[in-house]
Amino acid sequence: MASLTFQQNFKLGILGGGQLGRMLIQSGIDFNIPFTVLDPDENAPCAGITEFHHGKLTDYDTVMNFGKDCDIITIEIENVNTPALKALVKQGKKVFPQPEVIEIIQDKRIQKQFYKDQNIPTADFILTDTAAAVQAHANFLPAVNKLGKEGYDGRGVQILRTAADLAKAFEAPSLLEKLIDFEKEISVIVARNEKGEIKTFPVVEMVFHPVHNLVEYLFAPAEISPDVAEEADRIARQIIASLNMVGLLAVEMFVTKDGKVLVNEIAPRPHNSGHQTIEANGTSQYEQHLRAILNLPLGDTAMIIPGAMVNLLGEDGFAGAARYEGFEEVIAISGVHVHLYGKKFTKPFRKMGHVTIVDRDINSLKEKVALVKKTLKVIS
């Protein structure tokens, strides 16, 4: 039985040593899981809290060499060498999420085609290989032009609103997706273990700034109808089951103004939209990921207390050794939990940490969010 063996003579390898890996390791201390991490940055957030190897995640030999000492291998970032992971599976290693799943998600074109094939609701799209092919679809605008591969955190994604924008179309395999005039953006995190057990977390809502139209904070419980919540939950379960995936999957969705739920993107790992589960839910997304890949029973995901999550980004105009202005003020507020990622250097908009705020009173919770956002700054 896995439960009796994984605390002894066992190693769980993580490809990527960023904040998601860091919180995974922090959680895994409870189950006494021995970790080893591979990351190209020797000062990555995971360095110093576990066995750490320095190397490129996209290099076949580096990943093979790292994997040979592991019993199970997982990821905290999708941009990894999947041929090496496939070869490790052939050697008898367990790799979760499976390399084939990672490959579907690495390429937004394959990902979209997968939704279509599986009848998973998503925005209409056209696959294009050249800028000219995009430009031939002026009638499809407004649309989002996304590079198939290696887009990340906003890079490789652009909105084409009018024919005038067509000049900047990607000259590479990409897709053109109908721009959704959405009412809300929501997310459901779902886990599945090898036995096939599936559990979802309650729906999280991305709350937008009323003026700037940027995500201001994440909030659970999402302020949506029971029907929308049920449909979002159903879609998340359908995707992880169709992928036959083992691990944790974040499913980001749009709720349209007429109440439809459409899949936007998925990520096969712990996710920004699940940070608040550490404090606000019966099981955190990190422990749930570990339970899933170790084939343990999945944990209870019920919300214990309403929670909001604010990303702590490097302040614009500052670069250098990070300092946290307002830290004392915000940790004095009840229900405020600051998580710093251990990055030595800040730069504008770098993810340096996050803050979870929990409060039984929704109005008080939203006031605290505003106060935290106003008070806590990462400067140099």
Residues of this chain that interact with its own copies (CB under 8 A) are: 1-4, 7-8, 22, 26, 29-32, 34, 48-51, 282, 291, 296-297, 299-300, 302, 304-305, 321-325, 327-328, 331-332, 334-335, 337-342, 344, 353, 358
Nearer to its own copies, 214 or 321 (CB): 321
Is 76 annotated as contributing to ligand binding? no
By beta-carbon proximity to its own copies, the closer residue of 27 and 81 is 27
Q: How far is the CB of 219 from its own copies (least distance, A)?
A: 18
180 annotated binding-site participant: yes
Tell the smallest beta-carbon distance from residue 374 to its own copies (Å).
17
Rank residues 205 and 279 by Cβ distance to its own copies and give the closer one: 279
Residue 146 assigned as binding residue: yes
The 3-state DSSP class for residue 346 equals strand
Under 8 Å between Cβ of 205 and 224: yes
Residue 78 assigned ligand-binding role: no
Using CA atoms, how far apart are residues 308 and 355, in angstroms rounded to an integer? 8
Q: Is 178 annotated for ligand binding?
A: yes
Does 230 belong to an annotated binding site?
no
Nearer to its own copies, 208 or 318 (CB): 318
Give min distance, CB of 249 to its own copies, in A. 21
Least spacing, CB of residue 50 vs its own copies, in Å? 7
Q: Are 84 and 78 in contact (CB under 8 A)?
A: no
**93 appears as a binding residue in the annotation:** no
Please give the torsion angle defined by the CA atoms of residues 192, 193, 199 and 200, in that order, rounded to the nearest 10 degrees.
-40
> Measured between alpha carbons, how far is 374 from 31 in angstroms, rounded to an integer?
37
- When the beta carbons of 124 and 300 are compared against its own copies, the nearer one is 300
Helix (H, G, I), strand (E, B) or coil at 206: strand
Report whether 148 contacts 108 (CB < 8 A): yes
Q: How many CB atoms lie within 10 A of CB 209?
A: 11
- For residues 91 and 310, give the distance between their C-alpha atoms in angstroms, rounded to a whole number: 42
Smaller CB distance to its own copies: residue 104 or 312? 312
The answer to whether the CB of 62 falls within 8 A of the CB of 56 is yes
CB of 64 to its own copies, least distance (A): 25
DSSP type of residue 274: G
Residue 265 is assigned to a ligand binding site: yes
DSSP 136-201: TTGGG-SEEEEESBS-BTTBTEEEE-SGGGGGG--SSSEEEEEPP-EEEEEEEEEEE-TT--EEEP
Question: Measured from the CB of residue 7, what is the shortest distance to its own copies in angstroms?
Answer: 6
66 to 38, 39, 43, 70, 71: CA distances (angstroms)? 7, 10, 18, 7, 11
Q: Quick one: 2 or 132, whose CB is closer to its own copies?
A: 2
Closest separation in Å from C-beta 244 to its own copies: 22
- Residue list for the binding site: 108, 146, 177-180, 185, 264-265
- Residue list for the binding site for ATP: 108, 146, 177-180, 185, 264-265
